[in-house]
Chain A
Amino acid sequence: MIKGIALLLLFQLLGESIVFTTGLPLPGPVVGLVLLFVAMQACKMLGLGLFAEAETAADGFLANLGLLFVPAGVGIVALWSQLQSQAGAILMVLVASAVLTLAITVWTFVIVRRFVGRE
């Protein structure tokens, strides 16, 4: 478990370092994600099992992903006085955007899959 967490942190650290030195317009953890994926594929090809514990740690994180959003979400308490005047407009835009994005994404997926399947 500890080795798994250490590996995830290591790849985040690598990602952050690359972003800092190159000025790449991507967040550090996203670069870490891509690096870890590439490293795991490379290990598979070489027949090495270096990432078993990283998988255990990752499963733990992803099973409780919702919890990690809680501290930021409670921030609404601190921002409320600032947002009050725009709250209605913000909520309306947010709901409309979410529904629109869901519908457009699912349609694109289904239509393209049907089109590709027919070929």
Chain B
Amino acid sequence: MKHPIELWVYLSASPLLWLTLTLFAWILATTISVRLKRHPLANPVLITIAVLSTTLWLFDVPYETFFEGAQFIHFLLGPATVAIAIPLYRQWQKVRQALIPMAAALVVGSFSAVLSIVLMGKWVGLSQDVLVSFLPKSATAGVAMAISSSLGGNPSLTAVLVVLTGIVGALVVTPLMNAMRIKDYAARGFAVGLTSHGIGTARAFDVDETAGLFAGIAMALNAIATSLIVPLLVRLVL
């Protein structure tokens, strides 16, 4: 018979424990979110990250050990990006009908997302490496990390900033749009998908189906737009 401490030492170093824990933390978080009627503050991504970060901190587990298990989930960001082709294909008729407002909002929005970081980041004096890692933060994680590492940024930092941007956008979109008296759910969805990628899209689907659809389209289009705009701006401005 082995001591329970030995079991903990064995399990806490294995990918199995952290993968299982991540999935259950997510199930718990989505249950809480549904119970609280999808209140913006009960964001499932935020809850899951908070639960797991606290656990790692309490038991003094290094992030690398956690990631050994969580990497299997992280890997799926690639195929999930490809998967955005499906809603785009299914809703192509709706996309074509709103083609001009979407194209305009895409170009203006994508430039605002990147330029606001360049200007404000320089103003508050962020270091160069933080700035480069910051620029693609409105693109979905897999894409943003690829852009960041190709320009000499830190992809891990980019990932954290992408997730934070997602959560902030998902939290503020409903009160902000209500305050601005925007009732067009296609426009609301498009804005949150462009700003806050998958996390914003998940939020939009909770609120309204049309909003979710346009958020998904905006996320797909902004993944492409950001990969074109960021390298260009880095060459021109930084």
Q: Which residues of B contact A84 (CB under 8 A)?
A: none
**Which A-chain residue is minimally distant from B225 (CB atoms)?**
A30
**Which B-chain residue is minimally distant from A82 (CB atoms)?**
B157
**Which B-chain residue is minimally distant from A57 (CB atoms)?**
B83
Q: Which residues of A contact B40 (CB under 8 A)?
A: none
A103 to B112, CA, bound (A): 10
**Which A-chain residue is minimally distant from B125 (CB atoms)?**
A89
Tell yes or no: B132 within 8 A of A by CB: no
Q: A26-B227, A28-B146, A112-B101 are in contact. Are A65 and B70 (CB under 8 A)?
A: no
Q: A33-B84, A113-B101 are in contact. Are A8 and B199 (CB under 8 A)?
A: no
Q: Could you mark each residue 90-107 of chain A with 1 if its beta carbon is under 8 Å from any beta carbon of chain B, else 0?
A: 111111111111111110
Query: Once the chains bind, are B74 and A105 in contact (CB under 8 Å)?
Result: no
Q: Which residues of B contact A101 (CB under 8 A)?
A: 109, 112-113, 116, 138, 169, 191, 194-195
Tell yes or no: A47 within 8 A of B by CB: no
> Dominant SS at the B interface?
helix
Tell yes or no: A2 within 8 A of B by CB: no
Q: How far is the CB of B79 from chain A (nearest CB, A)?
A: 4
Chain A: residues with Cβ within 8 Å of the partner, total of 68
CB contact between A104 and one of B66, B85, B89, B112 (< 8 Å): that residue: B112
**Which B-chain residue is minimally distant from A8 (CB atoms)?**
B79
Q: Which residues of B contact A106 (CB under 8 A)?
A: 105, 177, 180, 182, 187-188, 190-191
Q: Which residues of B contact A26 (CB under 8 A)?
A: 224, 227-228
**Which A-chain residue is minimally distant from B182 (CB atoms)?**
A106
Q: Which residues of A contact B78 (CB under 8 A)?
A: 9, 12, 28-29, 32
Q: Could you mark each residue 33-44 of chain A with 1 if its beta carbon is under 8 Å from any beta carbon of chain B, else 0?
A: 110110011000
Tell yes or no: A18 within 8 A of B by CB: no
Residues facing A in B135-176 (CB within 8 A) are 137-138, 141-143, 145-147, 150, 156-157, 159-166, 168-169, 172-173, 176
CB contact between A73 and one of B104, B159, B182 (< 8 Å): that residue: B159
* Selected A-B contacts with CB under 8 Å, 26 pairs: A12-B81, A12-B82, A25-B231, A27-B147, A33-B223, A41-B92, A54-B86, A55-B90, A58-B84, A62-B83, A66-B26, A66-B45, A66-B199, A67-B45, A70-B22, A70-B45, A71-B22, A74-B53, A94-B134, A96-B120, A98-B172, A101-B169, A102-B177, A104-B108, A106-B191, A112-B105
Given contacts A65-B199, A94-B164, 4 further A-B contacts (CB under 8 A): A5-B79, A9-B78, A58-B83, A101-B191
